[in-house]
A and B are shown apart, each in its own frame.
Chain A
Amino acid sequence: MVAASWHIAAKDLRLCLVRGGGLVQALLLGLLLLFVFSLSQQVGETMSAQGAAAIFWLSSAFCQVLVFNMLYSLEEVNASRLGLLLMPAPVQAVWLGKGLAGLVLLLLAQLIFLPASVVFLGQHIGAAWPQALLMLFLVDVGMAALGSLLGALSQGQAARESLLSIVLFPLLVPLLLAGIRVGSAAFAAAMPEGAASWMGIAAAFDALFCGAGIVLFSFIYAGDD
């Protein structure tokens, strides 16, 4: 199953990164959000670290919606979903492959969003950056696990981006809170409660939704429309 997942992820990444159109759209939307929120400051004013971290994760969340819609639409627009389903591997390999591809694309997008947050929102990276980096990875894993599970359900629907957003965003709240809290510490804000408890929540979320993905994906991703 893991080998099949790698193949699916590699195929999706090649399609997305060679064509580039989908990721460019997600990147532009995230950057636009960062820029628009930077307008909420007066000239010379610096945004709070927590505010900046919230905007960073908001951009990432919208980016994630576009990324997973793009990943699942690769098969839909070519009417080749059955091809994936006939692959000699468990259907969960599709969930894992799409999740891996989504994780890579999200991390690539955040490579752009992070410096953009520093520039547009007037932040600087503090001493807590190693734990923030670990938290960023944990949050991204959870976002990819849930995004890959729910990304499949909105395929074939009109306004699938908005549909996925309204289902996905509320479920992501625990992860986003964890990311914002530890992210704000990376932007030099104090975090009296420490990062460990937030990491525990993010890790629990990852474990829960990786399990849910493995169990539930086969119900969503089937041959019927």
Chain B
Amino acid sequence: MASRYSLAFAVLGAVLMAACQWFIYVYAPVEAVMGLVQKIFYVHLPLSWWGLISFFVIFVYSLAYLKTRNPAHDRVCTAAAEVGVLLATLALVTGSLWARHSWGVWWTWDPRLTTTLIMWFVYAGYLVLRGMDLPASRKGVVCAVVGVAAFIDVPLVFLSARLWRSVHPAVFAAKGGGLDPAMLTTVLLCVASFGFIWAALLLTRIGQLAQQERLEALLRIDD
């Protein structure tokens, strides 16, 4: 069932992403100051959003695991952490490319970029924890606790990064709101297409983890 859904999401995501290329390069206007490089935005924003949503999924399913001890919830956390770290990595790379072109540096103390980086560190550590040689139930509990602690830290990381930045104002003015309607449509389509791909990746990985657990259980029976 899950694999059927993941296939459907993958197909939808692929079709929508192909359509997004037309929206990005033909429909959306070229930004006056940054030129073509601004097109990174259409990839960067969805990557960041879905990365953060992955971390929220870990938080929700960690709480669920602590309450129910259902291994299926633990598998969702594992899959979401892997997908989230992947998306956050790509968001950091695209953000860095953006910063280089727009501000002349590869890295800057922007609250959003910094929060993404700190979250990347937290969840990369979470994946290291996942790789530990521990009994499955103990590992699930330990990771669930870290998953909850990590997500409740997010607002404080963001606030402290923003406050810290206020003492280095030299560099960058805050981005103005109010996107061009064509740009807004394009970015929303991109968010949707990445959402389908995110769901396909997540479901595929959850399915793989379930299969792996089944195989390991069968091997234990054989022994």
Contacts and interface: CB of A to CB of B under 8 A. Distances in A.
A193 B129 CA distance: 38
B163 A193 contact: yes
A209 B149 contact: yes
Contacts of A181: 163-164, 167
Interface stretch (B38-46, B82-90, B117-125, B209-217): B117-125
A163 B128 contact: yes
Contacts of A212: 148-149, 152
Interface of A: 146, 149-150, 153, 157, 163, 166-167, 169-171, 173-174, 177-178, 181, 191-193, 197-198, 201, 204-205, 208-209, 212, 216, 219-220, 222, 224-225
A201 B142 contact: no
Nearest to B143: A153
B145 A201 contact: no
Nearest to A216: B145
Interface string B146-174: 10111011001101110110110000000
Contacts of B121: 166, 169-170
B66 interface: yes
B149 A171 contact: yes
A157 B152 CA distance: 26
Given A146-B149, A177-B160, 14 more contacts: A149-B149, A157-B134, A166-B121, A170-B118, A170-B125, A171-B150, A171-B153, A173-B157, A174-B159, A192-B167, A193-B163, A212-B148, A212-B152, A219-B144
A181 B145 CA distance: 29
A219 B163 contact: no
Contact of B142 (A178, A209, A220): A220
Prevailing SS type, chain A contact patch: helix
B219 interface: no
Contact of A174 (B132, B135, B141, B157): B157
Chain B: interface size category: 20 to 34
Contacts, number: 87
Contacts of B164: 177, 181
B175 interface: no
Interface in B126-142: 126, 128-129, 132, 134-135, 137-138, 141-142
Nearest to B66: A219
Contact of A224 (B129, B135, B166): B135
Contact of A167 (B119, B126, B167): B126
A201 B160 CA distance: 7
B206 to A, nearest CB: 23
A198 B132 CA distance: 36
Contacts of B137: 224
A96 B125 CA distance: 25
Contacts of B166: 193
Contact of A197 (B119, B128, B156, B163): B163
A197 B166 CA distance: 12
Contacts of B135: 224-225
B163 A208 contact: no
Contact of B156 (A163, A169, A191, A201): A201
